[in-house]
Amino acid sequence: MKGYKTIAFQFPEKLHVELKARLFYDEVPLTKFIRAYIEAYLGKDQIILDFLEKYKEENSIQNKKKREKTRKLISAGNKIKSTFVFSEEEVENIYDVLEDELDEIEI
pLDDT tens track for 43-94: 888 899 899 989 998 998 888 888 888 878 878 777 877 777 777 777 777 7
Distance between CA atoms of 51 and 37, rounded to whole angstroms? Answer: 12
Number of neighbouring beta carbons within 10 Å of residue 78: 12
**Using CA atoms, how far apart are residues 1 and 72, in angstroms rounded to an integer?**
39
pLDDT for 107 beyond 60 = no
- Rounded Cα gap, residues 52 and 54, in angstroms: 5
The model's pTM is 0.63
- Residues 30-47: tens digit of each pLDDT: 999 999 999 999 988 889
DSSP label at residue 6: -
Does a structural domain hold residue 22? no
Q: How many structural domains is the chain composed of?
A: 1
Cβ atoms of 49 and 37 closer than 8 Å: no
pLDDT at 17 over 60: yes
Q: Is residue 75 part of a domain?
A: yes
Residue 6, pLDDT score: 87
**Residue 77 in domain:** yes
